[in-house]
């Protein structure tokens, strides 16, 4: 049994979100709910190119390569309480992004209570299956304020990375966490990885008082610290050796 909060992540390998042209390929004013359907403004913002407007002049909302490559697989987790009983594990779609992103960096255009009207005159990015105002049925998790979209827009520093996808909703038999038993995933495959020779992963993990169970940073800090300490001893030894030679020559 996994007690406490349980988190689901998706992972990608060989996907370079840290590429310079990719990192800047967005329009911050548009993501704040401004200039959503102004094609001339979007065209002038060359960082979004070539994902700015369609040939007929219709602006893309959101524009840019980051938004266009949004991870859009649907992952469902099932728990088998018995050999014949399959229960869908309740997972939370909201509350997963940073507060500063959700409340400061991303805002829907007006009127916020009618996103179809707010995004009228724009079109979804080429690789999207549905428009931005249909990302979620929850009004507070739709449009530019959708958690999955916000998390994807915060680019990763390395080509192999993982991002938070869902949190366990601790209700019913999952109040204390994930009970012991058999589980399975159901994945709607929408995000292709063969084009960039990558791989996809799904992780389930818990958190402790020292954070998650990703060992990369711990190992990296330990190795870096050991190298710094070793170099310190080497430099100290060289310094003392040079100092002794200088003292001997001064006496002569």
Is there a cis peptide before residue 224, judged by omega within 30 degrees of 0? no
Residue 150 three-state SS:
helix
Percent of the chain with pLDDT over 90: 67
CB 132 within 8 A of CB 119: yes
Model confidence at 8, in pLDDT bands (50, 70, 90)? Answer: very high
**What integer best gives the mean pLDDT of the chain?**
89
- Paired tokens of 139: 């009004």
- Paired tokens of 247: 């003292």
Cα–Cα distance, 8 to 78 (Å, whole number): 13
The mean pLDDT value for 223-228 works out to: 95
Residue 67 pLDDT > 70: yes
* pLDDT given for residue 83 in this prediction: 81
Cα–Cα distance, 77 to 212 (Å, whole number): 20
Model confidence at 81, in pLDDT bands (50, 70, 90)? Answer: confident
Percent of the chain with pLDDT over 70: 88
Instruction: Select from 183, 141, 144, 187 the least CA-distant residue to 10.
Output: 187
Sequence-distant (6+) residues with CB within 8 A of 181 are 79, 80, 81
Residue 126 pLDDT > 60: yes
Q: What is the DSSP letter of 251?
A: H
Q: Which of 1-5, 89-93, 98-102, 107-111 has the lowest mean pLDDT?
A: 1-5
The mean pLDDT value for 56-67 works out to: 92
Alpha-helical runs (H) found in the chain: 20-23, 28-31, 39-44, 65-68, 99-100, 115-118, 147-153, 216-251
Cα–Cα distance, 136 to 198 (Å, whole number): 28
Alpha-helical runs (H) found in 72-215: 99-100, 115-118, 147-153
* pLDDT given for residue 64 in this prediction: 92
Instruction: Select from 7, 38, 64, 213 the least CA-distant residue to 121.
Output: 38
The mean pLDDT value for 18-29 works out to: 92
Q: Which residue has the higher pLDDT, 158 or 40?
A: 158
CB 193 within 8 A of CB 10: no
Cα–Cα distance, 65 to 49 (Å, whole number): 8
Residue 82 pLDDT > 90: no
């Amino acid at each position: 049994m996994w007690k406490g909060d349980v988190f689901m992540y998706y992972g990608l390998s060989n996907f370079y979100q840290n590429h310079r042209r990719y990192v800047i390929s967005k329009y911050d004013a548009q993501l704040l709910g401004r200039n959503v359907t102004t094609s001339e403004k979007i065209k002038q913002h060359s960082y979004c190119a070539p994902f700015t407007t369609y040939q007929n002049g219709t602006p893309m909302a959101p524009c840019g390569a980051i938004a266009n490559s949004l991870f859009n697989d649907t992952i469902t987790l099932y728990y088998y309480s018995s050999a014949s009983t399959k229960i869908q594990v309740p997972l939370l779609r909201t509350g997963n992004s940073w507060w500063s992103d959700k409340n400061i960096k991303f805002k829907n255009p007006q009127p916020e209570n009618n996103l179809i009207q707010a995004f009228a005159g724009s079109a979804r990015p080429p690789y999207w299956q549905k428009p931005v105002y249909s990302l979620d049925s929850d009004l507070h998790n739709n449009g530019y304020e959708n958690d999955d979209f916000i998390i994807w827009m915060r680019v990763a520093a390395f080509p192999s990375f993982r991002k938070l996808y869902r949190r366990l909703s601790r209700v019913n038999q999952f109040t204390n966490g994930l009970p012991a038993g058999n589980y399975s995933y159901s994945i709607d495959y929408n995000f292709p990885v063969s084009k960039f020779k990558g791989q996809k992963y799904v992780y389930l993990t818990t958190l402790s008082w020292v954070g998650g169970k990703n060992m990369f940073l711990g190992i990296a800090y330990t190795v870096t610290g050991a190298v710094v300490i070793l170099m310190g001893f080497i430099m100290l030894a060289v310094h003392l050796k040079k100092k002794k030679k200088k003292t001997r020559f001064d006496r002569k």
